[in-house]
Structure 1
């Protein structure tokens, strides 16, 4: 049984309605949010389905865009003035059943009493919320928070979803724009008992508990710890890389071959 009925005009803001429905379904459960194109099963009689869902819902979200009040019926007359217009009928039914009616204005839409037929005049008195694509995440969160505060059953449904996700080991979070890969912190464990270097982003060298010769840079590197010396093979010009001398890791990038301490100096 739905708790939230999403009312909208398909010629006005069906995209905004879908966005609102998906966010509320994520928070409270899909079965608690009714949107006609999602919730009415194939072959069902939509007049009965619509009216039954409105009467059983605690909240009706009236999604109102800039074309909402001026939308036209098939005969060219204004749709809101037609008693059989479904957008109008659903809102009237919600008022009659005592549901909480929340207008959600999309973008720059306005809701003026003089634009409404007498049967819908009460809609202009309802405290509205706004959904702007420039602040969609924040606006959707606020709408969900308001509904959870207004309808305790929704708040409990949200807590139950969170408990189920925790019991299943799911991780619920949000990630902004990412260029690359994302790894859940719980899925990655790193233990370091030794090593050199730091890895930042995709740049850097990290050596952990090496048990043999280490070779990084543009040319071969030979470590001769028995004689205390180091040999380098490269392009004969500038050098940049890492080397090990007498068991100590070194690094250089100044374009010069590093000087070595020892008997060959």
Structure 2
């Protein structure tokens, strides 16, 4: 459901309306900002879509350029005087539904004179306006967004939620300090260990997870006797000659002693 309805005349300031819509969508979420050419889906009936969106919105932004008041209908009469003119209908509907109506004057557009407007739109001249100048577009758009966040609590909350989501999915910060070699962020790398080794400190040498057969990580030769199911290793006599993992069970030997598989049938 939209909170902001962007009202504009396509023959006047459709570009300015698009700028405003994009900035407000960025700040508050695209689904909260309605602009006809963006928001009405293909094949939908636009009269019903427009009126429904206006009635559900908390704010109507009336985008007004220097050709807004002088636009003409097909017969040459002033469009603002035509009850069927959609720019006029949307503003009237916003007043009737109690929405906050904010005129945004684009470029050289001057402040509205209530005496030059039809009676149904005279109230528009009394609404506090904002200005959007292309020479200061970033600052003007930021001010409009700030004002709306202050005026409509739902928009302020939507803005905070977007900021929280951006922080959660943004840059990962760490305090690992100086590192020689490679570092993998915990968010980017997940390791599942099933060998039950627990927490290990210091240099553990070679660790093999989920080995499916005999593995030798020492310096000596490995002999596999498949007929008898035996596995024999010859170490080099060092303090930790080698190790092997067989069927999820880790065995170790030291001082050159031989590691032999336990006879499970005994």
TM-score (normalizing by structure 2): 0.64
- C-alpha separation in 2, matches of 1:148 and 1:175: 39
C-alpha offsets along residues 181-211 of structure 1, whole Å, 9 cap, x if unaligned? 9999999999999999999999999999999
1:75 positional shift: 1.0
- C-alpha separation in 2, matches of 1:136 and 1:258: 77
1:147 positional shift: 0.1
**Which segments of 5 or more consecutive residues in structure 1 lack a partner in the other structure?**
none
Contact 1:239 1:256 in 2 (8 A): no
- C-alpha separation in 2, matches of 1:130 and 1:255: 86
Summarize the Cα distance change of 1:67–1:257 in structure 2 as closer, same or farther, 3 Å threshold. farther
Contact 2:21 2:35 in 1 (8 A): yes
Query: SS in structure 1 opposite 2:101?
Result: strand
C-alpha offsets along residues 38-71 of structure 1, whole Å, 9 cap, x if unaligned? 0000000000000000000000000000000000
Contact 1:195 1:207 in 2 (8 A): no
Summarize the Cα distance change of 1:263–1:115 in structure 2 as closer, same or farther, 3 Å threshold. farther
Bigger Cα displacement from structure 2, 214-223 vs 153-162: 214-223
Contact 2:62 2:104 in 1 (8 A): yes
- C-alpha separation in 1, matches of 2:35 and 2:148: 16
Summarize the Cα distance change of 1:2–1:231 in structure 2 as closer, same or farther, 3 Å threshold. same
| Rg comparison, structure with higher value | 2
- C-alpha separation in 1, matches of 2:172 and 2:130: 30
**CA RMSD of the aligned region, Å?**
12.4
**Which segments of 5 or more consecutive residues in structure 2 lack a partner in the other structure?**
none
Contact 2:237 2:254 in 1 (8 A): no
1:9 positional shift: 0.1
Bigger Cα displacement from structure 2, 241-250 vs 91-100: 241-250
- C-alpha separation in 2, matches of 1:32 and 1:233: 72
1:170 positional shift: 5.7
Contact 1:230 1:244 in 2 (8 A): no
Contact 1:7 1:62 in 2 (8 A): yes
User: Aligned pairs, how many?
Assistant: 265
Contact 1:103 1:128 in 2 (8 A): yes
1:114 positional shift: 2.1
TM-score (normalizing by structure 1): 0.65
- C-alpha separation in 1, matches of 2:167 and 2:201: 31
Contact 2:29 2:158 in 1 (8 A): yes
- C-alpha separation in 1, matches of 2:66 and 2:240: 65
Please name the residue that 1:159 is paired with: 160
1:74 positional shift: 1.1
- C-alpha separation in 1, matches of 2:116 and 2:84: 18
1:218 positional shift: 51
Matching of residue 42 in structure 1 with residue 17 in structure 2: no
Bigger Cα displacement from structure 2, 181-190 vs 89-98: 181-190
Summarize the Cα distance change of 1:106–1:193 in structure 2 as closer, same or farther, 3 Å threshold. farther
- C-alpha separation in 1, matches of 2:142 and 2:101: 18
C-alpha offsets along residues 130-156 of structure 1, whole Å, 9 cap, x if unaligned? 000010000000000000000000000
1:5 positional shift: 0.0
1:169 positional shift: 1.5
- C-alpha separation in 2, matches of 1:136 and 1:175: 42
